[in-house]
Amino acid sequence: MIFKLLVFGVVVFIVYTLFFKSNRGTVEQPKKRKKKKLDSDTMVECTNCSVFVSETEAIIKDGKFYCSKECAGLK
Ligand SMILES: [Zn+2]
């Protein structure tokens, strides 16, 4: 009888763990969506020094992206 109770307890524990994990999974989804919103600001690589800057802050010269005026040769 004790063995059967142990097996029943393990089964309940596994089912509870799976249910708990699936709940956490649904909770984590909104966080991922927030990260995607942050990534919407596209990062571009500087042609001169390979530093990554956001597209809104990058300097575009001759169709290439630069991190600063110095790298773009616009001192
Ligand atoms: Zn640069």
Q: Does residue 34 sit in the same domain as residue 52? A: no
Range of the domain at 12: 1-40
Structure tokens at 53: 């800057």
Instruction: Output the CA 41–ligand 1 centroid distance in Å.
Output: 18
Q: What is the mean pLDDT of residues 35-60?
A: 84
CA–CA separation, 33 vs 54, rounded Å?
Answer: 19
Instruction: Output the CA 45–ligand 1 centroid distance in Å.
Output: 8
Q: Does residue 68 sit in the same domain as residue 47? A: yes
Of 47 and 29, the structure prediction assigns the larger pLDDT to 47
Q: Does residue 35 sit in the same domain as residue 45? A: no
Instruction: Output the CA 10–ligand 1 centroid distance in Å.
Output: 58
Total domains in the chain come to 2
pLDDT band for position 2 (cuts 50, 70, 90):
confident
According to the model, what pLDDT value does residue 69 have? Answer: 95
Q: Does residue 34 sit in the same domain as residue 58? A: no
Q: Is 80 exceeded by the pLDDT of residue 3? A: yes
Q: What is the mean pLDDT of residues 27-50?
A: 70
Q: Does residue 8 sit in the same domain as residue 22? A: yes
- In the three-class reduction of DSSP (H, G, I as helix; E, B as strand; rest coil), residue 64 is classed as strand
Q: Is 90 exceeded by the pLDDT of residue 54? A: yes
Q: Does residue 55 sit in the same domain as residue 33? A: no
